Structure 1
Amino acid sequence: MSRPTEHPGPDGSVTEPVIALRGVTAELGSRTVLRGVDLTVRRGEVVALLGVNGSGKSTAVRTVIGQVPVTAGEVELFGTPRRRFRDWRRVGYVPQRTTAAGGVPATVTEVVCAGRLSRTRFGVLRRADRDAVRHALELVGMADRARDSVDALSGGQHQRVLIARALAAEPELLLMDEPMAGVDLASQEALAETLRGQIERGVTVLLVLHELGPLEPLIDRAVVLRDGRVVHDGPPPRAADRHALPGHDHAYDHVHPHAPAGAGAEIRTGLLS
């Protein structure tokens, strides 16, 4: 099996991948969604997964955290085969936007606290945990809504809460599935600024996008999928060049709303829908 192309990190050095997919094939039901995908993400990199709807972007991210089983190939996290990986506090996951509490009445703080559970003993929050939750809410500009019900939030505010929930664990790796979908420009810019702060802290980021938008200056590499295969892996394509990429369609130029992700999608990483 061939290994993925090794890409130097932002400082030019080649380090052990934080994420490594090697010849990964994955199925949803009876449909093959990923077909021999090779992908590496190294420490400190910011990598965007691009492609049209159905190309396998979200499945690739969900394969990383074990929500979608691998039928061939291998997945590693921090140098450990995913099937043996247990240190999920190192991973923050932001799913496609859905109701932040999964239909259960909850306050903003209660939802964000769920992201801290992977760092607690027996689910008991200590002062350091509550401080981390408050800090996460401050990072996304939602501290003033901490006691509000998530049902009272706008779409952009929902997304900020989901991001705060992931940041509360103080992860080394941040996985984000369509964080900008259905979010207005002002919220996109606010989320980009939040992400910039995490990148400056050294967090590694893999995110699914339909368009680069305000995140474009932060992206180190773009990986384009088509029909479950990698057709481009390199510098982010300029807007003028994207139509020349294999698998391009107008989906790269517009933000598309998505159906809600299934309930319980984040349980694998210790996060609650």
Structure 2
Amino acid sequence: MGEPVISLRGVGAELGGRPVLRGVDLTVHRGEVVALLGANGSGKSTAIRAVIGQVPVSTGTIELFGTERARFRSWARVGYVPQRTTAAGGVPATVTEIVSSGRLSRARFGVLRKADHAAVRHALERVGMADRAKDSVDALSGGQHQRVLIARALAAEPELLIMDEPMAGVDLVSQKVLADTLSAQVEAGTTVLVVLHELGPLEPLIDRAVVLRDGRVLHDGPPPRGAAGTFPLPASPDPGHPRPGHDHVHPHAPADVEPIRTGLLS
């Protein structure tokens, strides 16, 4: 097993004064593909947003590549794909401009050079959007928006890819493109932590499943297998909260999802 790339120890977090994570322990090793599963409100998205510093931690520690997150500065090593939102955040922009913003963490003095432009083109090719490079993102479908978000993350050529429900509300054609793209990244050695409601087309890639419930780790081990891709969970206290494997389309862009910015955490 490779070295730890992500390490959470006893992590707690609150949102609006309400505990969302309660003593979460999670380690993702180099080269692993780990799926974070659980019902709505279980803490999945909060956990990964805590990893990248968007949510403050009230207890415990988080490390990235062996460095405490508060002291971690090598964000070019990390690609982050948020839940699907309007790619430009309401700002007029082309597909290339959005994807190029993901390369700025590697660009010298914020100036894109030949190698940077080549990386942007390659990222667009990987997600099947090279032919839309000059188009406005406002003209894209939902699935194409998601491809742009993923290309933006891939442009930095990250060692670690963190994705928050990349398949939610995405058409079948884009699901296949995204699954093929992620498969190629995994073959190249990229470490992946991905939030999912159901395994779907990513099932063959998943090494481990970590199931959260009420902000705690319920299961950490082999992923659910089979046609339904379900995982047996205790009865939910809220029947409105679905479980992994259900047929679900996640709401688009919750209010607290931030628009794309230049760089991972700018």
**What is the TM-score of this pair, normalised by structure 1?**
0.90
Q: Which has the higher helix share?
A: 1
Aligned residue among 76, 92, 117 for 1:130: 117
| Secondary structure at the counterpart of residue 117 of structure 1 | coil
Aligned residue among 74, 88, 110 for 2:97: 110
Equivalent position of 2:63 in the other structure: 76
1:194 matched to 2:181? The reply is: yes
Please say if residues 112 and 162 of structure 1, whose CA atoms lie closer than 8 Å, have aligned partners that are also in contact. yes
Aligned residue among 241, 244, 251 for 2:232: 244
Equivalent position of 2:214 in the other structure: 227
Equivalent position of 2:193 in the other structure: 206
Q: After superposition, give the CA deviation of every residue in 1:114-141 in whole Å (9 maximum; x if it has no partner).
A: 0001001221100100000000000000
| Secondary structure at the counterpart of residue 119 of structure 1 | coil
Please say if residues 25 and 72 of structure 1, whose CA atoms lie closer than 8 Å, have aligned partners that are also in contact. yes
Please say if residues 111 and 161 of structure 1, whose CA atoms lie closer than 8 Å, have aligned partners that are also in contact. yes
Q: Distance in 1 between matches of 2:234 and 2:146?
A: 30
Let me know the Cα RMSD of the aligned residues: 1.8
Change (3 A) 1:265 1:146: closer
Please say if residues 93 and 266 of structure 1, whose CA atoms lie closer than 8 Å, have aligned partners that are also in contact. no
What percent of counterpart residues are identical? Answer: 75
Please say if residues 86 and 259 of structure 2, whose CA atoms lie closer than 8 Å, have aligned partners that are also in contact. no
Equivalent position of 1:257 in the other structure: 250
Which structure 2 segments of 5+ residues have no match? none
State the Cα distance separating 1:266 from its structure 2 match: 5.8
Please say if residues 96 and 258 of structure 1, whose CA atoms lie closer than 8 Å, have aligned partners that are also in contact. no
Aligned residue among 101, 117, 121 for 2:88: 101
Q: Distance in 2 between matches of 1:190 and 1:231?
A: 31
Equivalent position of 1:41 in the other structure: 28
Q: After superposition, give the CA deviation of every residue in 1:134-187 in whole Å (9 maximum; x if it has no partner).
A: 000000000000000000000000000000000000000000000000011221
Equivalent position of 1:166 in the other structure: 153
Q: Distance in 1 between matches of 2:264 and 2:148?
A: 13
| Secondary structure at the counterpart of residue 158 of structure 1 | helix
Q: Distance in 2 between matches of 1:271 and 1:75?
A: 18
Please say if residues 57 and 208 of structure 1, whose CA atoms lie closer than 8 Å, have aligned partners that are also in contact. yes
Q: Distance in 1 between matches of 2:235 and 2:177?
A: 30
Change (3 A) 1:50 1:202: same
Aligned residue among 172, 175, 181 for 2:162: 175
Alignment of 1:3-82 (within 5 A): 13=1, 15-82=2-69
Which structure 1 segments of 5+ residues have no match? 1-12
State the Cα distance separating 1:272 from its structure 2 match: 7.8
| Secondary structure at the counterpart of residue 73 of structure 1 | strand
1:270 matched to 2:263? The reply is: yes
**What is the TM-score of this pair, normalised by structure 2?**
0.93
Please say if residues 225 and 247 of structure 1, whose CA atoms lie closer than 8 Å, have aligned partners that are also in contact. no
Alignment of 1:150-165 (within 5 A): 150-165=137-152
